[in-house]
Amino acid sequence: MIWLVLTLVVFYSCRFLAQRVKHPLSNPLLFSLLVLIPTLLLLEVPYETYFEGNQAIHLMLQPAVVALAYPLYAQLPAIKAQWRLLLSACLVGSLLAMLSGAGAALLLGAELELVAAVLPKSVTTPIAMSVTEGLGGETTISALMVLVAGLFGALFGYPILRMMGISSPIARGLAIGSVSHALGTARAVEEHHQDAAMSSMALVLCGVITSLLAPLVFMVFS
């Protein structure tokens, strides 16, 4: 139980701090990682031991993701009215996310195994790891890239959208959900209920689209 208690204490302490520090980088997840990772390394605690102690939190992940369907249901009439536009946006977002990640990896001289791990970076971890495994990539690197993409979207997504003058909840939600999956969607929930609905929808659709198209995109690079 010590690792579960430690995780909760660190996260809620970081959340308390983040709520008072008005800065794009003041994200409780980022702060928590900066505290927990050095602590585990200093105490020489294996990740498997830490993960086992936090099984209760891990089990809550699935119902938490399912709960994101509520704002989606609340915006169902708007979704039905614009389903062609929304589907097209998610298709383009998924393709650009895969092409940008894989293209950048190749330009930096990465081997195909690493390209396969980077390609599905903008979808949720279970889907990304499944896609990466099917392409012959390293799943642990894939999980890391998903975390990086999610954190980047959660930290910088809204500042970038504001800088570009994008104020439409539909556009913001689709952009965040397409690029930074569940972590970005959690940030969208804090911003606006319509942002959250669109981001939830993009999270699901982009996961499905990526699963279907990733092998074809990977063939282009291989």
- What are φ and ψ of residue 68, in 5° steps? -65, -10
* pLDDT recorded at residue 92: 92
Stretches where the chain sits below pLDDT 50 are none
Instruction: Write down the number of H helices and E strands in the chain.
Output: 13, 0
What would the pLDDT profile of 74-99 be if each residue is shown by its tens digit?
777 877 788 888 889 889 999 999 99
* pLDDT recorded at residue 60: 78
**What is the DSSP-derived secondary structure letter of residue 24?**
T
The length of the chain is 222
